[in-house]
Every structure is written in C-alpha cells, then in structure tokens.
Structure 1
Amino acid sequence: MKYWKALVAAAMVLTLSSCGGGDGSDKNEPPPPPPGTPGSLTISAKAPILDTTLKASTSKLSVEFQVTDKQGKGYDLGAIQPSFTLNKLIPGRDPSREDPTLWKSFIYKPDKQGAIKATGESSGTLEALGNGQYRYTFAVDPTNVTDPYLADSANNGGLISWDETATHRLGIYFGGSNEVPVTNYVLDWVPAGGAPALTRNIVEQSSCDGCHMKQPIHNKPPYHSTFADPKLCVACHNESNPNTTRRSLATIVHKYHGPRKDAADTDTVSHYPQDPRNCDTCHKDATPSTPNAGDWQHAQEKPCGACHADSNSATGFDAHITGKMTSAQTCSSSSCHTTDPANPKSAHAVHMGRLANEAAGQEKLKFTFNDVRYAAPNIEVDLSVTVNGVPAETFHDVAKFVKNDNAKAPQDDDGAPAILINWDQGNGFELATTNPQTYATGNTIKLSGCTAQGGGRFLCSKEVGNEVNGTLAATISDVRACVARKADRNGAFAAGDLVPCSTASGLSAVVINPVKAYFRAEGGIDSNYVLKSGSDMAACNSCHKDLTAHLTVHPTKDMSQCTSCHNATRTAFNPGVPGDLKYHVHSYHQVGSEHGGTPSKPFISHFPGKGNNCESCHTKAQYNLPNQQNARPSLAATTTDNKLPKYFSPTLVVCSSCHLKSPLGLVKPDSPVAGDEWATHMKNNGAVFGAETSEAATGVEQCASCHAVGMDQGVDKVHKVYDFR
C-alpha cells in the first residue's frame, strides 16, 4: 500500500504544475537539466596512502577523490555520506576445488547468526577540500585487522598482513535516491607501485547493464540499493571468511541466473530472462580492464555447484566431485572438464556448444508461406514444410519432431504445430487466440487439419465471419522442435539434427525461429507492412537475448506471434485485466502478470531495471502520446467473475497498467479505492472507462495535451527518461 500512496502523492505534486511546453521542436533530445540536478556523477581517486608514522602502533589509510557532475563540474556531496570498501587479492586456499585467487577484506561486521562477514564502512573521517574534492580516512587500521579465518593469516599472528606488493582494491559508493543517482567507483592499485603479480578482473559492469540498465543489482530495499558494479559487489561477496552466510559472488550470480529450484526441488523459480547456458551474456572476451575474462572456462566447484547441486541425479553433485577427482586434480584437469572448447565436456561445449546445436536444429524444421489469401468466407494458407531438408509428405512427418505438452501423443491429430492467421485493416490485428469470453480458437489453424498437396506443400483453410481486407498475416505457433544435443554413437544422427521426440534421451526441445509472412487481401506479398507493436524487439533482446514466452504452451519468440493473440480484441483470463499487449507487458514488468497478484498468490515484478525507463523497451519515437502504435481501445472484463467485456481508451490502458492499483476493468473512477485515485483525473481528461463499442472509446482522450513528449508534464520528464541515457 505504501508504494501506491507514494506513487500517487508524487504524481499529484507534478499535476499541480501547468502543462506548458510544446514549441514544435524535436522532443526526443533532453532539455538542459535544472540547476542542482546531477543527472549522473563520476568519481576519480588517487592511490590511497598508508600513514605508519602515528603513535601507539596505529596506522591510518586515507584516499583523496573528486566527484564531478554530468557537465564535469565539482559536485558538493552535502549531507551524503559515501561508503568505502577495502580488499586485497590473495592466492586461493585450495586451487583444486576453488578459484586460484580470492579477495580478502579488511572490513568486517557480524551477520544475523553472529558470524563475521566482509562489508564496507562509512564511519571514518570525510573532509571537504573544495570543488567536489574530498579526503576520506578509514576508521579501520588495515595493519591491525584480526582475520576471521585464521588459517589465512597464521603466519602473521592472526592479523591480515598489509602486503605492499599485492593488488588492493578501493571501492566507493553512494546514491540511489530520486535526487542522487547510483554512483560506484573501484580502484585497483599496488601500494609499492609496479605491475601486480595477481589480478582478478573477470566481468565488466557493461555486461550486467544489458539487463540491469545501470541500476543497482539489488534494486529493492533493504538490500544494497547502491551497488551496480560487480567489481564493487565482490568486495563483500567473497571468500574472506567462508564460515559465514555471505556467499561468494560467483556462487550468488550463478545461483540467481541459473535454473533455481524451490525448497521441494520441484519447481524452477529462476527469473533470469534467457537461457542460463548463454555464458557469453556475462562473460566477454578479455580486455585490458578484464584480463581474467577467460577464467569462466575453468570448471570450479562453487560456480558449477550453484546450478548443478540442485540436480536430482542419482549420484548428486558432491558425490560426482569426490568420486571423480583425486586430491591432486581439479575439475579442469585430466580428460574431464578441460578449458579446450573442442573438449565435449568443457564448460564452453556443454553450455554454449549445445546451444549452438539447438540453434542449428531450429533451422532444420522449416516452414515457408507460399500464399495467404481471402476466398470468402475462408482465409486460405498455402504452406511448405521441410524436415532435415526433406519435404514433409504428411502431418505425421512433422508432428513426430514437435514436442507436444497437451498430454497426448506427439502424433495426435489435435497436436501442434499450429498456424496463426489474422488481418489488419489499418488498426491492428482483428482476431485473438482463446479469448476467455468465448473460449474459441479464434485465429488458429492446426497443421493436422491441413490437406497435404505433395512435395512438402499443405493447403490450410479457416472460415472467418468478417469481411476481410487490408493485410493478411500468418505465423507459426506452438512449435518446439526436438533437437539432438550431441551425435548418436551409432551414427544415426548428428548433433543439431531433428530427432523424434520419442527418443529416450539426449535431446532438447527448442522453440523454432519465428516464421511470418504478410500478404495483401487482394493478392500478392505486402512488403511494406509494419507490425503495429509499440516495443522494440532489439531492446527486448538486450535482456532476453532470444525472447521466448510461454515456453510450454503457445511458445512464442516474436511480436508478430504475441500481437496475434494479445491485441485490443482480447481480454485476459484474470478478471478486469485487458489481454492487450500494451497493458500486459507494462503490468508484467512493473507489478506482475495478475496486476499485483492475489493475497494467496502474490506477485512481485523482477524487472531488473527501473519501470520508468521507457527507453529500456521503446525507441525514442514509440512512447510519445497519443499512442504511436497499438492505438485502439482495448477490451477488458468488468466483473469479478471475468465477464461483461467493455472497451477502454488506449492511453488509459497503457497508463493504468502501472498507475492504477486495481485491474483496469474493475476500477471505479467515480469512487476509486485506495491506489486508484488517478482514475478520476484520467476520466476528467477524456479517458473512457467501459464503453459499449470501440468507437465510443476512440478520439476523446486529452492526455497528450499535458503528457506528450516535451511538455512540462510530458512522459519523458515525469518518467525522467533522460536520466537513463
């Protein structure tokens, strides 16, 4: 409830200002920031200096640094108190089971269980030197820190040694509020000077930013809402003291980005938005700032165990480790998981190699639309299909290679694959699949119902009740092809070949690449058609990499498939929720698929960026008002039993997905409940709640008068879009 009250309060303050603006210029470039608005901040620092001349055998470490704003001017921190981390790099304790190096922290505090964990500090002395320059003197004396893991410092009386020749790391971090952006800084240095003997730089923040968009990794309080750089995260999440609940970053990252299981080890709960075997999403080639980038190919117990220890295999991960390695071996040694990518057991081969095999298999089940035409009262589809390069003569020639999750045999005549057909008369697709109001199959043609013509060609037909004109669209749906992960020992098939889904093992079910075609109703290919979708597929894949939705039921990989079902003509299965993509995607990425869930089934969005970063999903031209694409009013049920669908105006559909707490169809704008207060403002400015026809909800919204890009209350300014660039 606090979230909604804060959201409404902040928005109401903005509304009190006059609309203004609108000088007719290109509104996509950011205006000059108001005085005092940092936009983004940058830190630079000199190498810290250790003063050992003090009395009472104490030493003080101090560092001078400067903070500058986006214009390069010194920035006054005011009441902001930065935090600092301090570590040094030491050799690994047992390279046969662990990393060859690890970060040892100089700063600790007890965790909830009383164990000592690595952390940062802000209790030292901060001196302002003018023009954004500061000096910080650490509270901790780095020459007098008792090692919580005494075995690491047994040769130094239990104290962590200050090694002038070792690589040390300084971390500085602050910000995360609406006024002060998240600001991270890391400096590696060798106190004695010269090149370091050991380094540990594996991943750049830019790799994380593909999904996290420069936002804190833990972007929800009370977690670390100021950490965005993995080089800073590892200052605390390391193996300084293995006798604590604070795990190493290698374990945490692989655990949270891998196929996690629930407590009963039955349900996958990972929110990673792509295949976890995409190692190169995070791990790039070595650069001067990441000289150790290739270390990920060294198989090690902790990162591998983060995913594979959840396995239900008969032996289990621990038994595999102890049974396969002698005390002198490592996971990468001998003939096992060597770093050679050509080794079929290497980390590269078993992850990215198998993904490459699957990608090859996706292209071996090939659909080609020869023609899509309207022959009243039917839409007819002329389709060609090849399997492993051979024309399919019957439906069964295709179906045996397609994974079917309908609890029926893959060869069942009611099974996948399916063809989605639709038409666009200028405003978007006219049909939807499995509308909850009718439970009709809408625009679906099962391939099993098509007539084989010979030579791999099929003729498919669907009767439609409307007069069809404009652009006819067709795409393939519900197709997960079974692909061999590796070659058959007997030579029956090669890695990446399609194999029957009845094959006992050694296969992957992969969603085939999108196949779509657009034809004019009067005949011929419509090469100029632009799909009416307000999102940018390239932006989606910056996080999803190879977008796949509904993995087991209606598997989908492209907006042409998504909008063929989720458009303005469809309601959702959840009461009051529009099925239209413009509501569905905003809601899912902000408050959950059921618009916040239910008391018995709460849902928290796991969007890794910030929901107001419009350009994380849209191009500059797509989020202006009025709606640039998908501009029709949308259907939503208006009763709690998910019945009586009515039409809601288009901008209302978009904005309500985040700014109204209740599902749109259940909102009462004249007497709104808590969290729906903005509904009255929306209605008073032309938003239409629950019209009987689409026409009655069209062309009356006045939202763009104040909220178009460039206005004083434009979506670009209210959402602070320019802060993310």
Structure 2
Amino acid sequence: MAPLAGSTSLNFTITSVTVGSPPVVNFSVTNQDGVAVAGFAETDLRFNIAKLIPGTPTKWQSYIYRNQASSAHQANQERKSTSTGYRFGTLVDHKNGTFTYTFATDITNPADVVCPAPCTDADGVALDLSYQPTLTHRVAIQQGNSALPKANAIYDFVPAGGAVSTMRDIVKTSNCNECHNQLTVHGSRIETKLCVTCHNPGSWVAGTPGVTPNTPVDFKVMIHKIHQGEELPSVKAGTPYKIGNADFSTVVFPYSAVALGDTRACAKCHTNSATGPDVGRNTPQGDNWKTQPSKAACAACHDDVYFGNTSDLLKPYQTVRHMTLISDAGGVPVENPADSLCINCHSTGQLAGSVEAKHDLPNLLKAEGLKYVFNIRSVTNSGPGLIPVITFSVDNASGTPYDIKTGAQFLDANASLSLLVGWNNIDENNTGSGSHPGQPFNINLKGANAVCDAGTFICTVNMGANTIPLGATGSGRAALYGRVGVDVDGDTVVDRVRVKAAFKDFAITDSTPVARRQVVDINKCDKCHDQVSLHGDSRTNEPGLCVLCHNPSATDVNRRPKIASGPGTGFPDGSVTLDKKTEEAIDFKRLIHGVHAAAKTLYPVAPATVGAAGHGFRNKGLVVCGYNSSVNDFSHVRFPGILNDCTTCHLAGTYELAGKWEVPTASGILGSTVKATPDPTGAIGTYAQQLANQADDLNITPTAAVCTACHDGDVAKSHMVLNGAQFELTQDAINTSPVLEACAICHGPGRIADVKLIHGVK
C-alpha cells in the first residue's frame, strides 16, 4: 500500500458494476508505480451513471440531475457537497486499494430518479429516464480533489448481462489533447467519455422566455459550436455564442489546410479510419458524422438553417430553410424528418451529396500538395561579392521534375514560385541585401528569372545583380516557396494548393555549410495547425524558411501607415495604429511567443476607451501590420493548450538556457530590433537611410527579447534589467557592453529557477 500524498498519477480501474436497486460499483486505484493506494475522503470522489438510447444516431441519457433552483437543467454526478441538490451514497474503503461505491439513486425506481421540471431537452422534447437494463450503460468516476492528480474512470456494461454491442465511441480524448495538451474542465474532468455522461441532450441553460432561446450543452452541439466560434452564422449576424457567462464568439479553429477558422477537417476529432493521414485518431463510431448526420449536430455549425415551416423567432439568424423531398406514406412532404432519414439525401449519388464530400476540401488540398516537392539541388559561386548560382526543380513524389514553364498548374494566376537567399546562419539579419529592414533577396521565379533545361526540367535561377555582400561571412540559406493552382474539387474554380517549402544551406566563408540552430518541430505545430501556411498560402510548413524574413533585424515598419505631410513626413504614424506604435519586432523567436501568449486585455475599439477582457497572458496586446498595411491583432488569440509547456512546440532542451543560450551574445545570437527607424525627426538620416542602416537600429538583448514576448510587465522587465538585460541598444553596443545577460546563472538547467522547473515542463 502507498499513501495518496506524494502520488504523481492515479489510475482508477472499475472492475464491476451491478444494478439490483441502487447501482454498486467496485473499483481499484493504483499510483504511478502500480502500487495500490487508499485513504480517499468521500469529498474526493464523484460518480455518474447514464444509459445509451439506441437510434440513428444514438444518444446518452443521464439518470442523475441536480435538483436546484437554477436556470440550468443540469445532468450531474453524485458527490459529497455542502451545495444544495447533490446526493451521495456509500463509499467503502477496503484498505487494500479496492473500493465499493453504492449510489444514492436507485435508478430502477422511477420515484427515486429526480428530473427537475421541465423534464425535457432544450427544444422541449421529453426525456426518458426509465431504467432499461438491456441497454448499454456507463458509470464514470472523477477524482475531484485538486490537491491530487487528475484521474477519471469509465466502465460500459449491460445491466441485464452480456457483451456491450451498442456503443457511441466517437472522439478520443487523445485527439483533443493534440491541441489542448490535457483536456481539463470543471476541475479534473479529463476524459470525453466522462463528459458525455452529463453533456447530453438533457442538459441545457435556460434562456429568457420570449427573449432568448435555451442553450443546449449537449456535447455534439456545444463542442461543434465552440470550435466554430467566430465563424458561426449566428455570431457573424451579431448574436454571441455564450454558455452562461463564458463567451466563445472569438474562438478561431486553428486546424485547417484551407484557412484559419475553417472547420471542415472533421477527422481531426472523429474518424473510423485506421489508415491515412488521420491514423491513430480512429474510434468505432468515429465516422458517425458522415454516416449518421443529425439536425442537432449539423445545425450546431450551420446554425442559420432551420427545419420545418418556420424559423425560431428567438433566433433571428435562422435565415435558411432546410427543404426536404422526403414524404410520408401518403405522399405528403415531411417538413421536419427524423434524423435517421437525413442520410437519404446526404449521401453519395443523392441530391445533396455526401456529408464527407461537402467537408473534403482540406483533404483534397493536402493530397494534391503532396504531389509536388520543391528541390534546391545546389548552390554554388556563393562567396562574398559573388552572384550565387542556384539550381532547383519542382519534382513529383517519385523525384521526377515537372516542366514549370508549360505546366498549367505553375502558370495559373493562383500559382506562385519564389526563392529567398539570406545570411548568416548563426542568426540571419541579411546585412547588405538592400531589402529592408533586414530582408533577404527575394526572386520571383515565374517568368525569366528561372532558366530551365528543356529535357530535364532542372532550372537555374537568374539572380541578376544580387551578389553576396563583401562583408558576409559564415553560411547562408536559399529557400524555395510557393503554391500551385489546381481545381481539386471539380467546381471549375482553381484552388491555391500549398506546397511544403524547402531550403538548402550553403557556405559563404565556411569550408562547409553550417546550418542554423533548429528549435521547433513543425510536426508539433501541425498537431494544432494541420499546415502552417501564411502570406497567401505560399510559405508552408517550414520554419527554416520563416526565419529568413522573420529575423532579429526585422520589424513591420514598412507596413505601418506613414505620416503624409508636415514634421516626420514618410515616417510611421503611430497615432493612427491600434497599438499606437510605429513598428513591432517580427523576429521569429519573439513574434511566435507573443502571438501564442496573446493578451489579458484587448485594445479598445472605438467608441470604447477600455479594452475588453482577453484570454491571454501578456499585459499588452500584440499587433503586426502586414501587406497593404493590414492590421493583424493577435491580442485575442485563445491558446488551446498549456501555454507554459514549452515542449508543445520546442524540441527537447532547446527552450533551456544552455549551450549557445547560456551566453547568447557571445555565441552570435542577435538581439531583436524594436526600432529600425529610431529617430523620426530625421536628425540622423531620412526614413530610407535609417531603414538601410542596421547599425543605428535599437534592439533588446537576446534572452530578454524572448522572455518579454510573454512576460511583458514592468516588474518582469525590471528584473531582467537588474540581471543584465538591455532594451533599445544598438547591436554594436550590445556586443561591446561590459554588462552581459546573466539569466543562465539562475534560470539555467539545474539552477534554482531553471526554466524547465519554473514553467512546469514534465
């Protein structure tokens, strides 16, 4: 036996459930070492039981409801609580790691099963809480003590005996955890199989009669609507999606090969396919979304659709009537057919087409993109003062080059193909490129800039006058990026098809090419994003490309609105920008942390003078201006995982202050530029002159540049300054300063405030 205290994990196993009158549950608990534990208090454990009602589709139905004076019709658990409305049975600790719980509720006795009025779902359909012993039942246990490790247990059984044949196993918790790290709601509920024992059609939040409708918290409705978020037709029409005080109207689903917010990648969460790109996500009923569509599930996302003759007057966003061709036995059209009939039209070869086909664009785009491989074959003549000679091809999956000069997919207006060349790989800043601030050479390969062999289709880049600067040293990097134009879904519209970017390092003064440090794993990014593709679907799934432009010297200053006349003409106009800044650093190590950290308070939008509450960590928001001065406000980002778990994105150890990061400046890691045009008066040069001169740029020392991307408060900044960090200093001054960042002394591996320890990285 082992004590509960000190356990780092708990494993509950339900060994049997019998239903004679009140259900009796036998279970055991072990710790991380497989050793039995004992000593739970009654207040630690919570129990629930539900039945699975057959149908197309099936649905869970709770037996236990909280009897309370509330606006919520709430399925719940049996738990020991001082709050009203809860019941608790008898918990017996056998002192050997096994336990028995006898429910307080006798589910076999209708008089003992409480269903608060109105005993209906959110739409007024009566609930059936009768005991049906031949149906599949589920018992769920939650370890609810916040001082102990989170743990849930699930047990499916048929009270009358025999194997469980009817199931509703649709979403693996591990699928959710690809984005959410560990799905955790209501304290310690971490398993989707537990969630559905309460979140089924009988749970809902009451609206205001005659004013607002009831809000279902049925799992299939709630989860679809939460993830659809700001793309919900209702939200776009001005009705926020709220459950109680929680507002999910700004959620943006990040996983898509189409665009952020596109939720058609259904198999990300539920699939029955044990092969292909979604292997490992499969569950027995994972394909129900395409084989058993229902009004509740489909209208969760498509909530502008109404079924029947009239819309719900309390839902003004319902503007699309769902027509039906289904008739009853007498030939009269059925205006609101049963869910089981949906498949009659929503299937292959039928009028509406299959549900799968309607949601298949992300898969089609990804499959087409895999047919193309960008290939930089060689970089020669790459020394200082020389014009590099770069050969490349765009190959098929077998390695045979395409003819990019005649292939329609390369000539289409939706296609693009370009090459970047940057340096130095210790930390790119592209000094001397002539493209500012800190930008690499960028050559458009559609047209005369690519010269291709008519037989092999291997091409050479015409670099023009783009020479490697005389002062360049070390190694550089060439990167190929773009997209092809193909109609992937047969709708006669040519689609932009993303192709994974590629790069090749080359020597400038090094004897052999030296690669830049690699700190993130794109496969980790893709768990949440499917494909990381930005800037017009052309920079795709390759961080090694991103860092060429998003380097320490780069800011968004060229994309900021400019002063049109008077003092400071031509310089950025901070008075008209959302963040009131003249530029923002876009160095990758700073930008990506800031984007994901988001803000606690959003920037106010006129006429408001105070910003709304955000869902992030930073004190200040993050705004980056893009092409055509587009405003990209990342303050509202809602990071779905555990923000302080560095391994969500990073390769092992690369987030720690070790190696080059122990003494980053001495190791060649550059500070992040925060002011590429430090003097708007023009005293040290015109806007163009200041932009071209990296020597006058003001920077944050490297470690502080990373840490303040999240920890941006004044107290944190003061702490960093006291320990060697410097803000708004030229790179030369940083390099020669007698004051060095001493962060690793306390925050290095094994030290008193180790980054890994402080962030709670397991």
Deviations 1:192-248, CA, capped at 9 Å, x for gaps: 2211342211222222222222231x4xxxxx3423211112122222368852233
Partner of 1:82: 45
Relative contact order higher in (CA < 8 Å, ≥ 6 apart): 1
How far apart, in 1, do the equivalents of 2:181 and 2:113 lie? 37
2:193 aligned partner: 231
Partner of 1:105: 62
Distance 1:418 1:34 in 2: 62
- Cα deviations across residues 514-565 of structure 1 (Å, max 9, x unaligned)? 12222223699x6x643323212232223333332x3537644211122112
Name the aligned partner's letter for residue 646 of structure 2. Answer: C
Over aligned residues, Cα RMSD in angstroms? 4.6
1:560 and 2:560 correspond: no
Percent identity over paired residues: 25
Conservation of the 8 A alpha-carbon contact between 2:142 and 2:153 = yes
Q: Is residue 2:297 matched to residue 1:303?
A: yes
Cα distance, 1:648–1:230 mapped onto 2, change above 3 Å: same
Q: String of CA shifts for 1:342-398, please: whole Å, max 9, x gaps.
A: x99434444447623543256358564543543654643535556996523499994
Tell me which residue corresponds to 2:277.
none
Choose from 249, 258, 270 the match for 2:219: 249
Question: 1:170 Cα deviation (Å)?
Answer: 1.5
Which residue of 2 is the match for residue 418 of structure 1?
418
The reply on whether 1:695 has 2:735 as its aligned counterpart is yes
Aligned runs of 1:26-175 on 2, under 5 Å? 36-50=5-19, 52=21, 60-73=22-35, 74=37, 76-77=39-40, 81-92=44-55, 95=56, 99=57, 101-109=58-66, 114=71, 116-122=73-79, 123=86, 124-125=88-89, 127=91, 129=93, 130=95, 133-142=98-107, 143=109, 144-146=112-114, 160-175=129-144
Pair 1:184 & 2:155 matched: no
Answering whether residue 194 of structure 2 is matched by residue 195 of structure 1, we say no
Report the alpha carbon displacement of residue 566 of structure 1 after superposing the two structures with TM.
Answer: 1.9
Deviation of residue 616 (structure 1)? 1.8
The residue matched to 1:658 in structure 2 has which SS?
coil
Structure 1: distance between partners of 2:23 and 2:339: 41
Contact 1:432–1:570 at 8 Å: present in 2 too? no
Post-superposition offset of 1:319: 3.6
Counterparts of 1:428-507 in structure 2, within 5 Å, are: 428-431=427-430, 438=436, 442-447=440-445, 451-455=449-453, 457=459, 458-461=461-464, 462-463=466-467, 465=469, 467-477=471-481, 479-487=482-490, 505-507=492-494
**Pair 1:708 & 2:748 matched:** yes
- In structure 2, give the amino acid aligned to 1:509: R
Unaligned runs of 5+ in 2: 80-85, 207-213, 239-248, 258-262, 275-279, 307-316, 328-333, 558-578, 600-615, 624-632, 681-695
Distance, in Å, in 2 between the alignment partners of 1:280 and 1:364 is: 24
- In structure 2, which of residues 582, 587, 594 is the aligned counterpart of residue 587 of structure 1? 594
CA contact (8 A) 1:418 1:445 kept: yes
**How far apart, in 2, do the equivalents of 1:113 and 1:35 lie?**
36
Q: C-alpha separation between the residues in 2 aligned to 1:249 and 1:433?
A: 57
Is the contact between residue 374 and residue 500 of structure 2 (CA under 8 Å) also seen in structure 1? no
Q: Distance in 1 between matches of 2:132 and 2:32?
A: 37
For 2:526, the equivalent position in structure 1 comes to 541
- Structure 2 CA distance for aligned equivalents of residues 551 and 173 of structure 1: 45
How many residue pairs are counted as aligned between the two chains?
Answer: 614
Matches within 5 A, 1:508-527: 508-521=495-508
Given the two structures, how large is their TM-score scaled by the length of structure 1? 0.72
2-structure distance, mates of 1:432, 1:261: 42
**How far 1:651 sits from its partner (Å)?**
2.5
What is the letter of the counterpart of residue 304 of structure 1?
A: C
313, 324, 341: which one pairs with 1:322? 324
> 1:85·1:119 contact (CA, 8 Å) conserved in 2?
yes
CA 1:206 to 1:361, structure 2 compared with 1: closer, same or farther past 3 Å?
closer
1:634 maps to what in 2? Answer: 671
Q: How far 1:579 sits from its partner (Å)? A: 2.3
Q: Does 1:355 align with 2:363?
A: yes
Distance 1:384 1:689, change over 3 A: closer
Q: Distance in 1 between matches of 2:541 and 2:68?
A: 44
Question: Which residue matches 2:309?
Answer: none
Give me the whole-angstrom Cα distance separating, in 2, the residues matched to 1:698 and 1:80.
Answer: 59
Which secondary structure state, in structure 2, belongs to the residue aligned with residue 534 of structure 1? coil
Alpha-carbon separation, structure 2, partners of 1:110 and 1:481: 60
Give the SS at the match of 1:677.
helix
Over residues 565-615 of structure 1, what are the superposed CA-to-partner deviations in whole Å (9 max), with x where a residue is unaligned?
222222356758542222222222223599555499783442222122222
- The 1:88/1:509 distance shift into structure 2, 3 A limit, reads same
The correspondence for 2:657, drawn from 625, 634, 645, is 625
- The partner residue of 1:293 within 286, 292, 316 is 286
Q: Which consecutive residues of structure 1, in runs of 5 or more, have no partner in the other structure?
A: 1-32, 53-59, 219-223, 404-415, 489-504, 662-675
Name the SS of the counterpart of 1:118 in structure 2: coil
Contact 2:483 2:537 (8 Å CA) reproduced: no
Q: Give per-residue Cα distances to partners, 1:486-540, cap 9 Å, x unaligned.
A: 347xxxxxxxxxxxxxxxx43332322112222223699x6x6433232122322
TM-score by length of 2: 0.68
1:337 correspondence with 2:375:
no
2:47 alignment partner, SS class? strand
Any conservation in 2 of the 1:271–1:606 contact (CA below 8 Å)? no
Match of 2:628 in 1: none
Partner secondary structure for residue 300 of structure 2: helix
Alpha-carbon contact 1:649-1:687 (below 8 Å) kept: yes
Per-residue CA distance 1:671-702 (angstroms, 9 max, x = gap): xxxxx323333333333333322414698233
